[in-house]
């Protein structure tokens, strides 16, 4: 969950330094471990949470 949080925050434009503070890391190198997977190629991948939101919304309309 921490990795997902950090990656999604970075994708949403949150600064690396602020993410570091939110995760409670003293060293930027510790935060880099969580953010190493984030790249332009991965930004198009949808979060599983997006799928849940869509399913919830569809179910509400059918009732």
Give yes or no for residue 40 having a pLDDT over 80.
no
Using the Cα atoms of residue 15, residue 17, residue 21 and residue 25 in order, give the sign of their dihedral.
positive
> In Å, what is the CA distance from 52 to each residue of 10, 43, 49, 63?
21, 19, 5, 17
Half-sphere exposure of 62 (CA within 13 A, CB side): 6
Residue 61 vs residue 47, higher pLDDT: 47
- pLDDT tens digits, one per residue of 20-35: 999 999 999 988 888 8
pLDDT at 63: 45
Q: Who wins on pLDDT, 39 or 51? A: 51
Residue 50 pLDDT > 90, yes or no?
A: no
Q: Distance (Å, rounded) from C-alpha 35 to C-alpha 32?
A: 5
């Amino acid at each position: 969950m921490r990795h997902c949080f950090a990656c999604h925050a970075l994708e949403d434009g949150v600064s690396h330094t602020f993410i570091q503070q939110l995760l409670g890391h003293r060293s930027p190198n510790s935060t880099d471990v969580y953010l190493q997977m984030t790249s332009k190629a991965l930004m198009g991948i949808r979060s599983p949470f997006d799928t849940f939101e869509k399913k919830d919304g569809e179910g509400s309309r059918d009732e």
